[in-house]
Amino acid sequence: MAATASSYSITMRLHTAPDHGVVGTVATELAKAGGIVTAIDVAESSHDRLVVDVTCSAADEAHSLELVAVVKAIAGVEVHKVSDRTFLIHLGGKIEVTSKVPLKTRDDLSMAYTPGVGRVSMAIAENPEDVSRLTIKGNSVAVVTDGSAVLGLGNIGPGAALPVMEGKAALFKKFANIDAWPICLASQDVDEIVKAVEMIAPGFGGINLEDIAAPRCFEIEARLRESLDIPVFHDDQHGTAIVVLAALMNALRVVEKNLADVRIVVAGGGAAGSAIVSLLLAGGAVDVSVWDREGVLCRDDTALSPAKADLAARTNPNLRRGDLQAALDGADVFIGVSGPGVLQPEWIKTMNDGSIVFALANPDPEVDPAEAAKYAAVVASGRSDYPNQINNVLAFPGVFRGLLDARASEVTIDMLLRAAEAIAHVVKDDELHPSFIIPSVFHPDVPKAVAAAISGKPMA
């Protein structure tokens, strides 16, 4: 049975016979079926029945249906209602706008709104540089998507992307006290997206591009960086690259190797893979190869798309060719940002001693982390149910906190390298372990350290 997850957590309201022993039977049968019972609450008790709420985690949606069927089969139990806890927390959305100032009296209104607000507007008109100090612009980020590459779900459109963008905005607030706004655009045309972001930019201190498919995302980011005077950050690229480099720095410390000396294979030549390669090379890596559906990308392959040709030109110095299995022979590091099941566990045996495997495709990684751990010295994934989760939330809140604090106008490679080092150094020498190469997303020092690295200001 696959591991259960809180994202597939359900609560069943049960009507049972007035026998508390039935509750124990329910818990036992759910456990036999692979469910994890996290709460049992008797909501109502009378002489003729019990009303019981049972909350349990399943492995996936199909498993949750199986668990409901198991309970329905228990004599004396009626399943009155089933609630999906993930859907419940999304009812009405996950974020809201609240006022930071009191609005209780006429005086309050006269200062926060008309006529007093007119004085502030005129002050900004006369001194435009004050807009960040006198408005929300100085602490606001637009989270922009076209819905074309949402999580691992693909091109599902801007409406379906909105829950993800809301979640991103909630994370900005939680981890860096930044007010972020989900902007889901009803276009997948590069010119229209660029124009739309340019038109809303005056109200924001930074732009976070999110879940926009490659290669379109590359052009959008490049054009916006050229036209805007506020930082533009594509989290799927640069956030991923920062956290991967941070984790790799610490993994290399575990196996006592140097970045400049190891041979690295990156699976996936899309947005994340391209950014990871760029940051690895900037950080001192020398021998990096990229495998994609065409095989190992090689600079003398004239059939490659422009984006992959550019990637090939910067990688694979020894002009290797072949499939992923061949690429891994004698490699030190595997970094996967591709798709599920592309790496067979036994191929890891052909890698060098002290091998490092980052299988980051989510929710289904390139190789089962538990199987990879039989052969590799250090294993990481994008999942929260295994050690060493590579999660972008370690990077983007602190990155934007630092950018906003510094009133930065752009994001530089040097900033990204400093952010990676900051995350890596949160893990102290006495904490470093093959199963602990990256700090928890809830570690309070992470966003502070990243923000300080970005802004150049001391950590608060």
CATH classification of the domain holding 41:
3.30.70.260
Together in a domain, 69 and 127: no
pLDDT at position 3: 67
Which domain range does residue 147 map to? 142-230
Residue pair 77/50 in contact by the 8 Å Cβ criterion: no
Structural domains in the chain (count): 4
For residue 433, give the DSSP letter: B
Last residue of a domain, one of 186, 210, 230: 230
Together in a domain, 79 and 217: no
pLDDT at position 349: 96
Together in a domain, 342 and 410: yes
Of 374, 380, 336, 377, the closest CA to residue 355 belongs to: 377
Together in a domain, 113 and 169: no
Which portions of the chain are predicted below pLDDT 50?
Answer: none
253-262 confidence digits (pLDDT tens): 999 999 999 9
- Run of H or E including 102: none
Burial (Cβ within 10 Å: 0-12, 13-18, ≥19) of residue 438:
buried
Calculate helix-pair angle for 396-405, 157-176, nearest 10 degrees.
Answer: 70
Together in a domain, 53 and 185: no
Return the bridge partners of 142, or none: 181, 207
306-364 confidence digits (pLDDT tens): 889 999 999 999 999 999 999 999 999 999 999 899 999 999 999 999 999 999 988 78
For residue 352, give the DSSP letter: P
Together in a domain, 153 and 256: no
Last residue of a domain, one of 215, 230, 245: 230
Together in a domain, 300 and 411: yes
Strand runs labelled E in 33-156: 36-45, 50-58, 77-84, 140-145
Q: Is residue 376 domain-resident?
A: yes
Collect all residues with Cβ–Cβ distance below 8 Å to 4 and sequence separation of at least 6: 34, 35, 36, 57, 58, 59, 63
Burial (Cβ within 10 Å: 0-12, 13-18, ≥19) of residue 97:
exposed
Last residue of a domain, one of 230, 254, 286: 230
Q: Is residue 355 domain-resident?
A: yes
pLDDT at position 46: 84
Q: How many helices (H) and strands (E) does the chain have?
A: 17, 14
Q: Which of 72, 94, 113, 195 is catalytic?
A: 113
Supply 7's token pair.
């994202």
CATH number of the domain where residue 202 is located: 3.40.50.10380
Together in a domain, 307 and 370: yes
Supply 322's token pair.
């072949």
Q: Is residue 97 domain-resident?
A: no
Q: Is residue 255 domain-resident?
A: yes
Of 204, 171, 194, 222, the closest CA to residue 441 belongs to: 171
- Run of H or E including 48: none
pLDDT at position 2: 58
Together in a domain, 343 and 200: no
Collect all residues with Cβ–Cβ distance below 8 Å to 267 and sequence separation of at least 6: 273, 290, 291, 292, 324, 334, 335, 336, 337, 338, 342, 343, 366
Residue pair 51/61 in contact by the 8 Å Cβ criterion: no
The rounded distance, in Å, linking the Cα atoms of 5 and 21 is 27
Supply 383's token pair.
């999942």
pLDDT at position 386: 85
Q: Is residue 96 domain-resident?
A: no
Residue that has been written with the tokens 């597939």 in this structure: 8
Please state whether the peptide bond connecting residue 365 to the residue before it is cis, i.e. omega within 30 degrees of 0: no
Q: Is residue 95 domain-resident?
A: no
Mean pLDDT score across all residues of the chain: 93
Identity (one letter) of the amino acid at 73?
A
The rounded distance, in Å, linking the Cα atoms of 425 and 429 is 9
Supply 448's token pair.
């502070």
Together in a domain, 82 and 27: yes
The rounded distance, in Å, linking the Cα atoms of 279 and 117 is 45
**Is 113 tagged catalytic?**
yes
Together in a domain, 130 and 260: no
Residue pair 240/272 in contact by the 8 Å Cβ criterion: yes
CATH number of the domain where residue 280 is located: 3.40.50.720
Together in a domain, 85 and 191: no
Of 331, 362, 311, the closest CA to residue 261 belongs to: 331
pLDDT at position 229: 95
Q: Which of 168, 257, 308, 448 is catalytic?
A: 168
